[in-house]
């Protein structure tokens, strides 16, 4: 049985790697289709024909596409992401700091939102169709319905500017202590928690309710077990697979989808970095970010699959 | 009385206080304007710079793609960074005069073709080396090299020889150039050790502040350079520049006290922001202008009557009021305003005249097909709204203007300079010669209106070498009229720099050469 499990996991891993490979082709092709070219974008309105020609030659924009793709791929396999065209920075070093910032923000949001969402989901099933259930649904649905930037501005205005409880701009740097950093990111974390909470909470609730209709739950109830015990001991373990799935989706969102929040709170993360370089046609950076985002997304989904397989023995035996 | 007060206010504006602050303070003191004027005279004298502290700036116009190479500056943040760590030979003062910095003094030969700059001695670079005339020479050579990517390449092109003679640097130009010192004040031309040839991005200069941390697109930190040569500058111990491109976030950071200075305040929120305690919104007339560009050699704009019909069909006053919310002034279809030395204010102002526009439109014989104006918000803030106002006012004159929205992405590469009619902006240049040479000379790199006029070119060349200022003014005035009546530029408005400062920042000056006191706020201000 262990062997078959390993085989399944290995299959998923191989599939993931293949996906990343195909994504790399897509990303490369996509960046080639952007209008304008990087030399023009770097020099902007101040581009003279000479300066343009010089810059193009220097950036190696004259080589054919497939050649550039192959050399990029080879570099990638060696862990070399290349250098930024616009400012000559090493992309790997530049991304290192950014990625850890984004992961820090996403991690803080996840540590709060995941347990909170599951607890709220459990509570709303426990009090199904009574006021706690309705209250939880109303609040989480309201917060997910407001666009992120709006939510951010509301928090900036009331909590940052009016009350002064937390900084309105989440500037963090390496010299800050851990707690200073936590204080600095209080507002963006709050926004992110509010944004992802509803999805995970609703999924938890729905998955649990689904399981609650099973015959064995009825049996447990007829045996006189308390409602909490039924939900926690008997229903929840069987609802883990869909919950893990939605949790992973939201984790992926926290890493790759926080562009708006990062921009509004001036948070030095991946999103802001990507946006800046897309605007300048800094192709190697866009490609590097694309690959990293794709890898995060694919591996989180893979993790979700593997967790589901572990949690549900039936999935190990394909019909 | 109202008029009297207005003129007084105008004189206060020049002496360094915003109109709003002036009115607020005079009424708060309950004194008449004249008394208030003398009160402020004393206060200004009593202010002694306070040393120490940190200045925190929240700046829009930065991105993680920028480098520290002064040659590649193309947006606000790298400009402010280079102003803090580097210096040029000269600077332009608020009144348009020159302030010698790394050049102690300068003089021209009678024919304005040979310029001698006396290089300041004993100035140290941040790496401990002493700056020499050779460093200056190498810097200028690097920017004038035809292989250079420098933004200053265009203005360096007329230089034929640069040589060192002891403490002097001698610059020779092909044609007489009366404004050469102004050209050399260009912010790209920060003097670097060895000209910055080996490592242009090292961030080493002679400025009041040394770069400590440089994270492009995130923040820059500086500390006072202990060996800085000029005691009257660099009052803060440290400076932090944080890049905040989101306008709302920038204003919020100022309101919540996270930063002391912000740039690029949107006109529509400036009034609101000014009402906040401890914040002063400062606005200063500059040389920047928002324009619509017609290419004079492309149909239907190769027709002078049609071009002029469109110029009469735009309502300038309305645009200043609605797009700039009053933070600006009307333009007159040439790129020069009163901020420039030698501006001729007697040139008649063009106004919205639908009848005349209709008449000219008829005379142009245009077939009535829609005239397509391409526009994107990136052209200038409010560009799309401005185009719609233009469309409406043109419609009243019977001119069928059609707006085509373009994506911000790739606007400068695909639309601007590539289509016959689009929206654009210019930052302006320190002097008329540079503005005209950059964009209206037939051979100019950025002749985006495709304006080819021999008479204009000849006048420009003459004025370039003319040392007699009265004659020069006349020549510029003549050029302005040619451009206004023949050119492809529709210039409805000059925008002001609107910026906001915490009230404990002292030493603020009104300098409209560029935003934030021409970038000198961090080196000239201090905190009370």
Dihedral angle sign, alpha carbons of residues B206, B212, B215, B219: negative
* Residue B291 and residue B382 share a domain: yes
- Our CA-based measurement puts residue B255 at a distance from the nearest CA of chain A, in whole angstroms, of 6
* Residue B308 and residue B335 share a domain: yes
Which of B145, B149, B186, B427 should be substituted to probe chain A, the one whose Cβ sees the most A Cβ atoms within 10 Å?
B149
Cα A154 to Cα B453: distance, rounded to the nearest angstrom: 55
Q: Which residue has the higher pLDDT, A287 or B401?
A: B401
Which chain B residue has its CA at the smallest distance from A276's CA? B63
Cα A120 to Cα B136: distance, rounded to the nearest angstrom: 68
Q: Is residue B117 part of a domain?
A: yes
Non-local CB neighbours of B342 within 8 Å, separated by 6+ positions: B432, B469, B472, B473, B476
Q: From first to last of the 528 residues of chain B, give the pLDDT tens digit.
A: 333 333 333 333 333 333 333 333 333 333 333 333 333 433 444 468 899 999 999 998 888 888 899 998 878 899 999 999 999 999 988 888 899 999 999 999 988 899 999 999 999 999 999 999 999 999 999 998 877 778 788 778 888 999 999 999 999 998 888 889 998 998 999 999 999 888 888 999 999 999 999 988 889 999 999 999 999 999 999 999 999 988 888 999 999 899 999 999 988 889 889 898 889 999 998 899 999 999 999 989 999 999 999 999 999 999 999 999 999 999 999 999 988 888 998 999 999 999 999 999 999 999 989 999 999 988 888 899 999 999 999 999 999 999 999 988 778 778 888 899 999 988 888 889 888 988 899 988 788 899 999 999 999 989 988 888 899 999 999 999 999 999 999 999 999 999 999 999 999 988 888 899 999 999 999 998
B243 contacts on A by Cβ (under 8 Å): 266
- Cα torsion B307, B309, B312, B315 to 10°: value is -90
Domain residue limits at B105: 54-207+504-527
The predicted structure's pLDDT at residue B296: 94
CB spacing of B149 vs A41 below 8 angstroms = no
Residue A61 phi/psi, 5-degree rounding, is: -80, 0
The region, left, alpha or beta by phi > 0 then psi within -120 to 50, assigned to residue B60 is: beta
User: What is the β-pairing status of strands B489-502 and B261-262?
Assistant: antiparallel
CB spacing of B409 vs A277 below 8 angstroms = no
CB spacing of B64 vs A276 below 8 angstroms = yes
Dihedral angle sign, alpha carbons of residues A124, A125, A126, A128: positive
Instruction: Give B71-75's long-range contacts (Cβ < 8 A, gap of 24+).
Output: B71/B142, B71/B143, B71/B148, B71/B149, B71/B150, B71/B151, B71/B152, B71/B188, B71/B196, B71/B200, B72/A42, B72/B149, B72/B150, B72/B151, B73/B151, B73/B187, B73/B188, B74/A42, B74/A43, B74/A44, B74/A45, B74/A46, B74/B151, B75/A44
A89 contacts on B by Cβ (under 8 Å): 67, 216
* Residue B101 and residue B192 share a domain: yes
Q: Is residue B119 part of a domain?
A: yes
Prediction pTM value: 0.80
The predicted structure's pLDDT at residue A75: 87
The predicted structure's pLDDT at residue A318: 58
Which of A49, A95, A161 should be substituted to probe chain B, the one whose Cβ sees the most B Cβ atoms within 10 Å?
A161
CB spacing of B150 vs A37 below 8 angstroms = no
C-alpha angle A277-A278-A282 in degrees, rounded to nearest 5: 55
Of B59, B53, B52, B25, the closest CA to residue B39 belongs to B25
The predicted structure's pLDDT at residue B12: 35
Q: How many CB pairs under 8 A join A and B?
A: 138
* Residue B510 and residue B427 share a domain: no
The predicted structure's pLDDT at residue B19: 35
- Residue A53 forms contact with B (CB below 8 Å): no
Q: Reply yes or no on whether the pLDDT at A8 is more than 70.
A: yes
Dihedral angle sign, alpha carbons of residues B1, B2, B7, B9: positive
The predicted structure's pLDDT at residue B22: 35
* Residue B449 and residue B391 share a domain: yes
Non-local CB neighbours of B468 within 8 Å, separated by 6+ positions: none
Break chain A into its structural domains and give their ranges. Answer: 3-78, 91-315
Q: Which CATH number belongs to the domain containing residue B320 in this structure?
A: 3.10.105.10
Are A264 and B249 spatial neighbours (Cβ–Cβ below 8 Å)?
A: yes
- Our CA-based measurement puts residue B458 at a distance from the nearest CA of chain A, in whole angstroms, of 23
Q: Which residues of B385-417 are buried (b: 16+ CB within 10 A; e: fewer)?
A: ebbebbbebbeebbbebebeebeebbbbbbbbb
**Band of residue A36 on the pLDDT scale cut at 50, 70, 90:** low
The partner residue sitting opposite B256, judged by closest CB among A161, A265, A279, is A161
Q: Is residue B246 part of a domain?
A: no
The partner residue sitting opposite B154, judged by closest CB among A48, A173, A266, is A48
CB spacing of B242 vs A89 below 8 angstroms = no
Q: Between residues 342 and 401 of chain B, which touch chain A (CB distance below 8 Å)? A: none
Which chain B residue has its CA at the smallest distance from A57's CA? B147
pLDDT per residue as tens digits for the range B117-129: 999 999 999 999 9
Cα A143 to Cα A137: distance, rounded to the nearest angstrom: 10
Instruction: Give B450-458's long-range contacts (Cβ < 8 A, gap of 24+).
Output: B450/B295, B450/B296, B450/B297, B450/B298, B450/B488, B451/B296, B451/B483, B451/B486, B451/B487, B451/B488, B451/B489, B452/B296, B452/B297, B453/B482, B453/B486, B453/B487, B455/B482, B456/B482, B456/B483, B456/B486
- Residue A272 forms contact with B (CB below 8 Å): yes
pLDDT per residue as tens digits for the range A219-271: 888 888 888 888 888 888 888 888 888 999 898 888 887 888 988 888 888 88
* Residue B477 and residue B412 share a domain: yes
The predicted structure's pLDDT at residue B13: 35
Q: Between residues 208 and 237 of chain B, which touch chain A (CB distance below 8 Å)? A: 213, 215-219
Q: Which fold has domain A91-315?
A: MetI-like fold (1.10.3720)
C-alpha angle A127-A131-A134 in degrees, rounded to nearest 5: 90
Which chain B residue has its CA at the smallest distance from A174's CA? B213
Ranges of H-type helices in B242-303: 247-255, 267-275
The predicted structure's pLDDT at residue A35: 65
pLDDT per residue as tens digits for the range A179-216: 999 999 999 999 999 999 988 999 999 999 988 888 88
* Residue B508 and residue B458 share a domain: no
The predicted structure's pLDDT at residue B23: 36
The predicted structure's pLDDT at residue B91: 92
Q: Which CATH number belongs to the domain containing residue B202 in this structure?
A: 3.90.76.10
Among A79-83, A162-166, B33-37, B111-115, the minimum mean pLDDT is found in B33-37
- Cα torsion A6, A8, A10, A15 to 10°: value is -170
* Residue B378 and residue B339 share a domain: yes
Of B213, B268, B288, the closest CA to residue B243 belongs to B213
Q: Is residue B332 part of a domain?
A: yes
Q: Is residue B37 part of a domain?
A: no
Q: How many domains does chain B have?
A: 2
> What element of type H or E holds A214?
none
B154 contacts on A by Cβ (under 8 Å): 48
Say how many residues make up chain A.
319
* Residue B518 and residue B423 share a domain: no
Cα B201 to Cα B69: distance, rounded to the nearest angstrom: 4
The predicted structure's pLDDT at residue A305: 84
* Residue B306 and residue B438 share a domain: yes
Non-local CB neighbours of B70 within 8 Å, separated by 6+ positions: B78, B82, B86, B187, B188, B189, B190, B192, B196, B200
Q: What share of chain B is helix, strand, coil (3-state, %, to 5)?
A: 35, 20, 45
- Residue A206 forms contact with B (CB below 8 Å): no
Cα B319 to Cα B342: distance, rounded to the nearest angstrom: 26
Are B437 and B463 spatial neighbours (Cβ–Cβ below 8 Å)?
A: no
- DSSP letter string, A129-191: TSHHHHHHHHHHHHHHHS-HHHHHHHHIIIIIIIS-SS-SS----TTS-HHHHHHHTHHHHHH
Cα B76 to Cα A267: distance, rounded to the nearest angstrom: 20
User: What is the β-pairing status of strands B114-119 and B168-173?
Assistant: antiparallel
Q: Is residue B193 part of a domain?
A: yes
Are B439 and B487 spatial neighbours (Cβ–Cβ below 8 Å)?
A: no
A84 contacts on B by Cβ (under 8 Å): 65
B374 contacts on A by Cβ (under 8 Å): none
- Looking up tokens 């409805």 gives B492
The predicted structure's pLDDT at residue B469: 87
Cα B105 to Cα B55: distance, rounded to the nearest angstrom: 31
Cα B256 to Cα B251: distance, rounded to the nearest angstrom: 9
* Residue B508 and residue B490 share a domain: no
Cα B502 to Cα B259: distance, rounded to the nearest angstrom: 8
Q: Map residue B292 onto helix, strand or coil.
A: strand
- Looking up tokens 């007329």 gives B158
- Residue A180 forms contact with B (CB below 8 Å): no
* Residue B196 and residue B337 share a domain: no
Of B501, B219, B244, B65, the closest CA to residue A265 belongs to B244
């Amino acid at each position: 049985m262990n062997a078959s499990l390993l085989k399944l996991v290995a299959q998923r891993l191989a599939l993931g790697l293949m996906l990343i490979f195909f994504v790399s082709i897509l990303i490369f092709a996509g960046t080639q289709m952007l209008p304008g070219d990087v030399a023009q974008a770097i020099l902007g309105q101040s581009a003279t024909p000479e300066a343009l020609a010089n810059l193009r030659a220097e950036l190696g924009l004259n080589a054919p596409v497939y050649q550039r793709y192959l050399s990029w791929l080879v570099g990638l396999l060696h862990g070399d992401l290349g250098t930024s065209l616009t400012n000559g920075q090493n992309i790997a070093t530049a991304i290192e700091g950014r990625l850890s910032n984004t992961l820090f923000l996403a991690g803080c949001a996840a540590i709060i939102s995941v347990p909170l969402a599951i607890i709220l989901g459990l509570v709303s099933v426990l009090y199904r169709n009574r006021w706690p259930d309705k209250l939880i649904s109303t609040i989480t649905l309201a917060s997910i319905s407001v666009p992120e930037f709006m939510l951010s501005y509301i928090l900036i205005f009331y909590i940052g500017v009016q009350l002064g409880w937390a900084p309105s701009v989440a500037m963090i740097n390496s010299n800050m202590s851990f707690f200073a950093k936590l204080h600095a990111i209080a507002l963006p974390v709050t926004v992110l928690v509010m944004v992802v909470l509803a999805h995970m909470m609703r999924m938890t609730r729905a998955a649990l309710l689904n399981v609650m209709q099973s015959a064995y739950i009825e049996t447990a109830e007829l045996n006189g077990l308390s409602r909490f015990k039924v939900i926690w001991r008997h229903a929840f373990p069987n609802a883990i697979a869909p919950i893990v799935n939605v949790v992973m989706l939201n984790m992926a969102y926290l890493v790759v989808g926080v562009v708006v929040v990062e921009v509004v709170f001036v948070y030095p993360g991946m999103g802001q970095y990507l946006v800046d370089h897309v605007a300048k046609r800094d192709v190697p950076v866009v490609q590097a970010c694309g690959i990293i985002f794709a890898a995060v997304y694919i591996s989180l989904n893979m993790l979700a699959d593997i967790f589901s397989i572990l949690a549900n023995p039936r999935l190990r035996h394909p019909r | 009385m109202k008029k009297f007060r207005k003129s007084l206010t105008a004189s206060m504006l020049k002496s360094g206080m915003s109109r709003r602050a002036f009115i607020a303070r005079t009424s708060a003191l309950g004194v008449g304007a004249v008394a208030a004027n003398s009160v402020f005279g004393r206060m200004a004298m009593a202010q002694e710079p306070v040393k120490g502290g940190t200045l925190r700036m929240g700046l829009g116009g930065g991105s993680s793609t920028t480098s520290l190479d002064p040659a590649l500056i193309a947006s606000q943040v790298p400009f402010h960074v280079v102003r803090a760590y580097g210096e040029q030979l000269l600077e332009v003062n608020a009144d348009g005069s020159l302030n010698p910095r790394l050049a102690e003094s300068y003089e021209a030969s009678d024919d304005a073709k040979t310029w001698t700059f006396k290089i300041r001695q004993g100035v140290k670079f941040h790496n401990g080396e002493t700056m020499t005339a050779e460093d200056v020479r190498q810097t200028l050579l690097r920017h004038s090299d035809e292989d250079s990517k420098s933004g200053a390449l265009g203005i360096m092109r007329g230089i034929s020889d640069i040589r060192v003679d002891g403490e002097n640097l001698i610059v020779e130009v092909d044609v007489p150039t009366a404004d050469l010192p102004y050209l050399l004040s260009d912010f790209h031309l920060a003097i670097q050790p060895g000209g910055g040839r080996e490592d242009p991005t090292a961030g080493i200069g002679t400025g009041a502040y040394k770069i400590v941390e440089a994270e492009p697109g995130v923040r820059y930190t500086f500390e006072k350079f202990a060996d800085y040569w000029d005691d009257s500058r660099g009052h803060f111990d440290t400076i932090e520049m944080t890049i905040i491109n989101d306008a709302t976030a920038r204003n919020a950071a100022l309101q919540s006290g996270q930063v002391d200075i912000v740039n690029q305040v949107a006109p529509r929120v400036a009034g609101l922001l000014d009402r906040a305690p401890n914040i002063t919104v400062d606005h200063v007339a500059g040389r920047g202008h928002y324009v619509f560009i017609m290419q004079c050699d492309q149909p239907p704009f190769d027709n002078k009557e049609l071009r002029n019909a469109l110029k009469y069909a735009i309502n300038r006053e309305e645009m200043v009021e609605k797009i700039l919310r009053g933070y600006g002034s009307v333009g007159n279809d040439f790129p020069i305003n009163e901020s420039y030395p030698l501006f001729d204010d007697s040139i008649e102002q063009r106004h919205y005249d639908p009848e005349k526009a209709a008449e000219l439109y008829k005379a142009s014989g245009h077939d009535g097909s829609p005239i397509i104006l391409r526009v994107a918000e990136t052209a200038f803030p409010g560009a799309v709204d401005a185009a719609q106002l233009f469309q409406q006012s043109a419609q009243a004159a019977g001119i069928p203007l059609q707006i085509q929205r373009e994506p911000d992405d790739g606007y400068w590469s695909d639309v601007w300079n590539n289509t016959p009619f689009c929206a654009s902006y210019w930052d302006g240049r320190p002097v008329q010669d540079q503005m005209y040479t950059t964009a209206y000379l037939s051979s100019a790199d950025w002749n985006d209106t495709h304006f080819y006029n021999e008479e204009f070119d000849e006048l420009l060349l003459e004025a370039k070498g003319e040392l007699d200022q009265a004659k020069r003014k006349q020549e510029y005035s003549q050029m302005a009229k040619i451009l206004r009546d023949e050119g492809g530029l529709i210039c409805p408005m000059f925008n002001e720099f609107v910026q906001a400062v915490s009230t404990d920042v002292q030493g603020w000056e009104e300098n409209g050469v560029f935003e934030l006191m021409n970038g000198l706020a961090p080196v000239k201000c201090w905190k009370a």
